[in-house]
Structure 1
Amino acid sequence: MSLASGCPNAWPTEIQRTLTVIEDRGGASALPYYRALNLLPDASDTPPASAPSVIPHPATESDMLPVRSALLSPGDVTPRLIRAPGLRPVFVVGDDPLSLAWLQRRAGTLRDLNAIGLVVHVDTRTALDSMRRLVPGLQLSPTPADDLAQRLGLRHYPALITATGIEQ
């Protein structure tokens, strides 16, 4: 039984003003049930306090750290073809020695591709800043990227993912 199926004439005036009756097949009002369950606002109730409009402190990138992927680890990536038309190039790295060497070696290509970097393993802001200094001009964002890894069947990094393939 719902309030909408009850008799409109038995509803409080404020509800009658806000509802548009599409069809009325008669029946008994459900209003007594709603009142018994305390589901309708009482005119004597004070309105609930509004939520604060200011967050105690805005979230920062440091609040996201440490980042650790549950599905990805450093290792060899076997190159393979994929079909992802329109995908902007993305690379997946961590702050491990393999990833850092890969970043240095591939930085020019990554810049040329305007690739976005997903840092899937980094513990501190200091480590993330150090990675950024290593490859200036590349966007590095901390994120576990587990959803991406699962969708692409990716198990290891560092990796470059383009619209046509995955490679190391």
Structure 2
Amino acid sequence: MKNVNFLLFGLCLVTSTALANLNVIADVGGEDASPYFEGINAQGETPASPSVQPGVVDVQATMLPVSTPELSPGDVADRPLQLPGIGALFIVGDDDASRSWLQANADGLKSRHAAGLVVNVSNLPALQSLQALVPGVPMAPASGSELARRLQLSNYPVLITDTGLSQQVTP
């Protein structure tokens, strides 16, 4: 019994000692990460206005301009597909047809939890104006060349789901 008590005492001592001493495995330098934790640390406080830190670049701006020569605005015939697990993905560009389509289908895109690719856009203000048409629906600039080739698609705007592609969006 004495050995068991000694063993338990030893385990507790080793465990608490191991937890008390943290070892740095590698320190590769870099910038202080504490600004990234301000939002977590400030829970319950009144949120401050968002600020842009010096040197922080909008990631979307680095992806611009985007041009997809294989895709242009136009009519798309409904077509069945079998793409299990794709969810709802839409393709638009910076043009009047896409803007009208986004405005007309904003509620349907939101209810489907759709995500969008902006395949033809030249600058950040143009991208942001498209995003403002459907707040809460993620859209990112990206080339649609590979998607156009694989789906034999030449026009947009279009909604692609696991069962087909169409310009009609139903909630």
Q: TM-score, normalised by structure 1?
A: 0.65
Q: Is the 1:160–1:166 Cα contact (8 Å) retained in structure 2?
A: yes
> d(CA) in 1 for partners of 2:114 and 2:140?
12
Q: CA deviation at 1:71?
A: 1.1
3-state SS of 1:68 partner: coil
Q: Is the 2:106–2:133 Cα contact (8 Å) retained in structure 1?
A: no
3-state SS of 2:101 partner: helix
Q: 2:69 matched to which residue of 1? A: 70
Code of the aligned partner of 2:163: T
Q: CA deviation at 1:70?
A: 2.3
3-state SS of 2:148 partner: helix
Deviations 1:107-138 (A, max 9, x none): 11111110110000111100111111111111
Q: CA deviation at 1:164?
A: 0.4
Code of the aligned partner of 1:99: S
Change (3 A) 1:137 1:151: same
Deviations 1:86-125 (A, max 9, x none): 1111000001000000000011111111011000011110
Q: 1:154 matched to which residue of 2? A: 153
3-state SS of 2:127 partner: helix
Q: Is the 1:70–1:144 Cα contact (8 Å) retained in structure 2?
A: no
> d(CA) in 2 for partners of 1:65 and 1:159?
21
Code of the aligned partner of 1:147: E
> d(CA) in 1 for partners of 2:145 and 2:106?
23
Aligned Cα root-mean-square deviation (Å): 1.9
Q: 1:116 matched to which residue of 2? A: 115
Q: CA deviation at 1:57?
A: 7.3
Q: Is the 1:94–1:122 Cα contact (8 Å) retained in structure 2?
A: yes
Q: CA deviation at 1:53?
A: 7.5
Change (3 A) 1:139 1:57: closer
Q: 1:130 matched to which residue of 2? A: 129
Gaps of 5+ in 1: 1-51
Count, aligned residues: 116
Gaps of 5+ in 2: 1-27, 31-54
Q: CA deviation at 1:60?
A: 2.0
Compare CA radii of gyration and give the structure with the larger one.
1
Identity of aligned residues (%): 44
Code of the aligned partner of 1:86: G
> d(CA) in 1 for partners of 2:68 and 2:86?
22
| Higher helix proportion | 2
Code of the aligned partner of 2:84: P
> d(CA) in 1 for partners of 2:104 and 2:161?
18
Code of the aligned partner of 2:66: V
Q: 1:99 matched to which residue of 2? A: 98
Q: Is the counterpart of residue 167 in structure 1 residue 166 in structure 2?
A: yes
Q: CA deviation at 1:58?
A: 6.5
